[in-house]
Structure 1
Amino acid sequence: MIPFAMVSLHFVNLFSLCFSLLPCLTVSGPILKHTVFPNFTASHLSFLDYNGDFLTSNNGTFTASIRASVVTSSFSTYYFSIIHKRSETIIWTANRDRPISNSAELRLTVNGIFITDDSGKFTIWSTPPFDSPVGALQLLETGNLVLVDNRNASLWESFNYPTDTIVMGQHLLVGKSLVASAADANFSMGNYRLSVSSEDLIMQWMGQTYWKMSMQANAYKFSNNPVSYMEINSTGLNLYGDDGTLVIQVLLNASSLKIAKMRPEGRFTIMSFMREEWVEEVVAPVEDCRIPMICGKLGLCQTTRAVCSCPSEFYRSYGSNAGCVPADNSLSLPAACDSNGNGLELNSTLVSYMKLDDGMSYFANDLVDPVKHGVNVSICQDICSRNCYCLGIFHGNFSGSCYLLQNYLGSIYHRIDQDLIGYIKTSSTSSPKISNKKDNSFPRTAMVLIPLFGFFLLVTILILTFLRLCKTRPSKVAVGRNLDRWSSSSSSPELNIITLPGLPIRFDFQELISATENFKTQIGSGGFGTVYRGTMPDETVVAVKKITNLGTRGKKEFLTETAIIGSIRHVNLVRLKGFCIQGQLRFLVYEYMNKGSLERLLFGTGPVLKWQERLNIALGTAKGLAYLHRECHHKIIHCDIKPDNILLHGERSVKISDFGLSKLLDHQKSSKLLTTMRGTRGYIAPEWLTSYGITDKSDVYSFGMVLLEIVNGRRNWSLLTQTSETSKSGSNGPSSSSSLETRSIFFPAMALKMHKQKRYLELVDQRLEEKVTSEEVEKLVRVALCCVQIVPELRPTMAEVVSMLENRLPPGEPMVDALNFL
Structure 2
Amino acid sequence: MIMKTNVSSYFPMITLLILLVIPSSYLGDAEIIGYPSFVNGPNSWRNTPSSDFSFWESAGVRPILVYGKFVFGFQCSFEGDNCLIVVSIFKTSSDGNSRFSPQVVWAAGRNNPVEIQALLELTSQGQLILKDANDTLVWSPSTASKSISRLTLGSEGSLKLLDKTNLTVWQSFGHPTDVLFLGQKLASGQKLRSSVSPFDSSEGLFAFGIIDGVFTAYIDSDPYQMYYRSFVSEDQSYAEFRTGGFGSLIMAAPANFIQLGSDGHLKAYEFKEQGLKWVGTDMLDIDQCSYPLACGKYGVCSETGCSCPDDASENETAYFKPNNFTADDGCHAISPISCELSLYHGFLELRRINTRYLDYILSSKTLQLEDCKEACLKNCSCRAIMYNGRNKCLLLSQVFSIEKKEGFDYATTFIKVQSSPIFSQSPSRNPSSPNFPRRKRQNTIVIVGSLLGTIFGVFLIFSFLFLNLKMVSKNMRKII
Using structure 1 for the length normalisation, give the TM-score: 0.39
Going from structure 1 to structure 2, the CA distance change for 1:402 and 1:355 (only over 3 Å counts) comes to farther
Alpha-carbon distance in 2 for matches of 1:333, 1:286: 36
1:381 corresponds, among 373, 381, 387, to 373
Asked whether the 8 Å contact 1:363–1:411 carries over to 2, the reply is no
Asked whether the 8 Å contact 2:376–2:382 carries over to 1, the reply is yes
- Give the 5 Å matches for 1:715-734: none
Going from structure 1 to structure 2, the CA distance change for 1:391 and 1:93 (only over 3 Å counts) comes to same
Q: Letter of the aligned partner of 1:417 in structure 2? A: G
Asked whether the 8 Å contact 2:210–2:232 carries over to 1, the reply is no
1:212 aligns with 2:234: no
Going from structure 1 to structure 2, the CA distance change for 1:326 and 1:182 (only over 3 Å counts) comes to closer
Distance apart, 1:159 and its partner CA: 1.4
Alpha-carbon distance in 1 for matches of 2:136, 2:376: 47
2:128 corresponds, among 92, 99, 113, to 113
Asked whether the 8 Å contact 1:370–1:401 carries over to 2, the reply is no
Asked whether the 8 Å contact 1:43–1:66 carries over to 2, the reply is no
- Give the 5 Å matches for 1:335-484: 350=343, 352-361=345-354, 365=358, 368=361, 377-378=369-370, 380-382=372-374, 384=376, 390-395=382-387, 400=390, 402-419=392-409, 420-426=411-417
Distance apart, 1:253 and its partner CA: 3.9
Asked whether the 8 Å contact 1:235–1:251 carries over to 2, the reply is yes
Alpha-carbon distance in 2 for matches of 1:221, 1:206: 20
1:65 corresponds, among 57, 73, 78, to 73
| Residue 280 of structure 1: aligned partner | 279
Q: Matched residue of 1:356: which SS? A: strand
- Give the 5 Å matches for 1:209-358: 209-214=225-230, 223=234, 227-238=236-247, 249-253=248-252, 255=254, 257-273=255-271, 277-283=276-282, 284=284, 287-303=287-303, 307-312=306-311, 313-316=318-321, 324-327=331-334, 329=335, 332=337, 350=343, 352-358=345-351
Q: Matched residue of 1:159: which SS? A: helix
1:368-389 CA distance string (max 9 Å, x none) = 558677x874355356557777
Alpha-carbon distance in 2 for matches of 1:228, 1:57: 33
Distance apart, 1:135 and its partner CA: 1.3
Distance apart, 1:173 and its partner CA: 1.9
Distance apart, 1:53 and its partner CA: 4.5
Distance apart, 1:137 and its partner CA: 0.5
Distance apart, 1:157 and its partner CA: 1.1
Alpha-carbon distance in 1 for matches of 2:206, 2:176: 14
Alpha-carbon distance in 1 for matches of 2:130, 2:244: 38
2:36 corresponds, among 25, 33, 37, to 33
Q: Letter of the aligned partner of 2:343 in structure 1? A: L
Going from structure 1 to structure 2, the CA distance change for 1:314 and 1:362 (only over 3 Å counts) comes to farther
Alpha-carbon distance in 2 for matches of 1:222, 1:186: 34
Alpha-carbon distance in 2 for matches of 1:103, 1:46: 9
Alpha-carbon distance in 1 for matches of 2:212, 2:172: 23
Higher relative contact order, chain-length normalized (CA < 8 Å, sep 6+) = 2
Distance apart, 1:91 and its partner CA: 0.5
Asked whether the 8 Å contact 1:268–1:285 carries over to 2, the reply is no
Asked whether the 8 Å contact 2:233–2:239 carries over to 1, the reply is no
Q: Matched residue of 1:71: which SS? A: coil
| Residue 462 of structure 2: aligned partner | none
| Residue 128 of structure 1: aligned partner | 142
Distance apart, 1:128 and its partner CA: 3.2
1:82 corresponds, among 79, 87, 102, to 87
- Give the 5 Å matches for 1:158-237: 158-207=172-221, 208-214=224-230, 223=234, 227-237=236-246
Distance apart, 1:46 and its partner CA: 5.8
1:670-697 CA distance string (max 9 Å, x none) = xxxxxxxxxxxxxxxxxxxxxxxxxxxx
How many residues were matched structurally?
358
Alpha-carbon distance in 1 for matches of 2:159, 2:149: 14
| Residue 711 of structure 1: aligned partner | none
Superposition CA RMSD, Å: 3.6
Q: Letter of the aligned partner of 1:421 in structure 2? A: T
Q: Matched residue of 2:373: which SS? A: helix
1:751-794 CA distance string (max 9 Å, x none) = xxxxxxxxxxxxxxxxxxxxxxxxxxxxxxxxxxxxxxxxxxxx
Asked whether the 8 Å contact 1:106–1:113 carries over to 2, the reply is yes
Contiguous gaps of at least 5 residues in structure 1: 1-29, 215-219, 239-248, 335-343, 431-822
Alpha-carbon distance in 2 for matches of 1:123, 1:369: 40
Asked whether the 8 Å contact 1:130–1:155 carries over to 2, the reply is no
| Residue 616 of structure 1: aligned partner | none
Going from structure 1 to structure 2, the CA distance change for 1:203 and 1:81 (only over 3 Å counts) comes to same
Please identify which structure carries the higher helix content: 1
Alpha-carbon distance in 2 for matches of 1:388, 1:163: 34
Going from structure 1 to structure 2, the CA distance change for 1:165 and 1:368 (only over 3 Å counts) comes to same
1:182-233 CA distance string (max 9 Å, x none) = 122321111111122113111121342333242xxxxx7764x7x2122211
- Give the 5 Å matches for 1:519-598: none
Asked whether the 8 Å contact 1:192–1:204 carries over to 2, the reply is yes
Identity score, percent: 20
Q: Matched residue of 1:204: which SS? A: strand
Using structure 2 for the length normalisation, give the TM-score: 0.64
